[in-house]
Amino acid sequence: MKELQRLPCVCLLTGGAISNMYSIMAARYKYFPEVKTKGMAAVPKLVLFTSEHSHYSIKKAGAALGFGTDNVILIKCNERGKIIPADLEAKILEAKQKGYVPLYVNATAGTTVYGAFDPIQEIADICEKYNLWLHVDAAWGGGLLMSRKHRHKLSGIERASSVTWNPHKMMGVLLQCSAILVKEKGILQGCNQMCAGYLFQPDKQYDVSYDTGDKAIQCGRHVDIFKFWLMWKAKGTVGFENQINRCLELAEYLYAKIKNREEFEMVSNGEPEHTNVCFWYIPQSLRGMPDGPERREKLHRVAPKIKALMMESGTTMVGYQPQGDKVNFFRMVISNPAATQSDIDFLIEEIERLGQDL
């Protein structure tokens, strides 16, 4: 992981939400180390920036760490769910004019809903211009770094100050297995170290740099790295690459099968970047109906009804949700490389069977 992302400091944590929280803690300690001893009262009014499509854990961390959710500023996204860099820069300048101190920008590599990849290179340019900490939440999309075909989607990730990566997502490692990677050595240690003498003695018979416990808030922890190491030994880097590519191929297959069919409508234009395929099923009763409040209200009820029928029949399950002004749509996410094209065909047929009379 360090070799792929060129970030030397790694700590295994309990999930992506905690890894994202650590990134904010590290950023705050980097620029305002006095916060460790004196608390938030000793620092200026700090603000964080993240996209309107980012994971909710960024706002949750803002609340937990004393920034307040009002000081987690949301950046507009385009129709594909990517941060608009111009809006980021405008909001940074606006915050500075209001007397706030911009601290941290979160870019997402693989958003939860659309699977979108924020333009990391452009965001990194802005962060360097204003001396901000750049974090990349690659909890969902980080697995694509294993693929020579798809890793270009994370171009610029090596410029980040920190990265979240969840091997328990696309790579299929058993829950829980999440990593925070930090560019500057010593930041996590300085931020979290409390020098517990009964645990972290400097005169042990081995290299004490292997004692990572003082980098973390937790004391007792699972040995999450072992299952990851074991799987990597079994599959190899090429095995992980094939696994990632297979999931992307299945998503491309699903998209190709439904994009031009009258009974399906894609939520956004263009081929999905990740394995998230978002679409509406259009029942016969709604085909040809002009767009308007009545059609949207009826379409909003379609996905929940089909999902309920799926669960009752026990055949399959696909998640759904609204997003912004878009009514409920299906969000099919493929992360199991054991799935086949026949499984995708069955899914399409099952949605049609359950929804045709709605």
What 3 state SS string does 137-197 have? EECCCHHHHHCCCCHHHHCCHHHCCEEEECCCCCCCCCCCCEEEEECCCCHHHHHHCCCCC
Cα–Cα distance, 200 to 207 (Å, whole number): 11
Same domain, 259 and 211: no
Residue 288 inside a domain? The answer is yes
Residue 244 inside a domain? The answer is no
Same domain, 216 and 290: no
Residue 230 inside a domain? The answer is no
pLDDT of residue 275: 96
Paired strand residues for 87 = none
Contacts 24+ apart (CB under 8 A), 284-293: 284/356, 284/357, 285/358, 287/262, 287/263
pLDDT of residue 193: 81
- Using an 8 Å Cβ cutoff, are 91 and 73 in contact? yes
**108 φ, ψ (degrees, to nearest 5):** -110, 130
Peptide bond into 243 cis (omega under 30): no
| Among candidate residues 202, 222, 242, the one where a domain is terminated | 222
Residue 241 inside a domain? The answer is no
Residue 245 inside a domain? The answer is no
Same domain, 286 and 190: no
Angle, in degrees to the nearest 10, between helices 293-300 and 302-313 = 20
- The number of folded domains in the chain is 2
CATH number of the structural domain spanning residue 293: 3.90.1150.170
Residue 55: give the domain boundaries: 1-222
Pairing of strands 264-266, 162-165: unpaired
Same domain, 213 and 352: no
pLDDT of residue 215: 77
Cα–Cα distance, 45 to 99 (Å, whole number): 8
Same domain, 213 and 261: no
Closest CA to 49 of 92, 112, 97: 92
Residue 236 inside a domain? The answer is no
**74 φ, ψ (degrees, to nearest 5):** -90, 135
Same domain, 211 and 268: no
| Among candidate residues 171, 200, 222, the one where a domain is terminated | 222
Residue 87 inside a domain? The answer is yes
CATH number of the structural domain spanning residue 151: 3.40.640.10
pLDDT in tens, the chain (358 residues): 554 556 667 788 889 999 999 999 999 999 999 999 999 999 999 999 999 999 999 999 999 999 999 999 999 999 999 999 999 999 999 999 999 999 999 999 999 999 999 999 999 999 999 999 999 999 999 999 999 999 999 999 999 999 999 999 999 998 889 989 999 988 988 888 877 666 666 676 666 666 776 677 777 777 888 898 999 999 999 999 999 999 999 999 999 999 999 999 999 988 999 999 999 999 999 998 989 999 999 999 999 999 999 999 998 989 999 998 999 999 999 999 999 999 999 999 999 999 988 8
What's the pLDDT tens digit per position in 31-88? 999 999 999 999 999 999 999 999 999 999 999 999 999 999 999 999 999 999 999 9
DSSP string, 94-130: HHHHTT-EEEEEEEEBS-TTT--B--HHHHHHHHHHH
Paired strand residues for 278 = 331
Same domain, 44 and 167: yes
pLDDT of residue 86: 98
Classify 223 as helix, strand or coil: coil
Pairing of strands 46-51, 9-13: unpaired
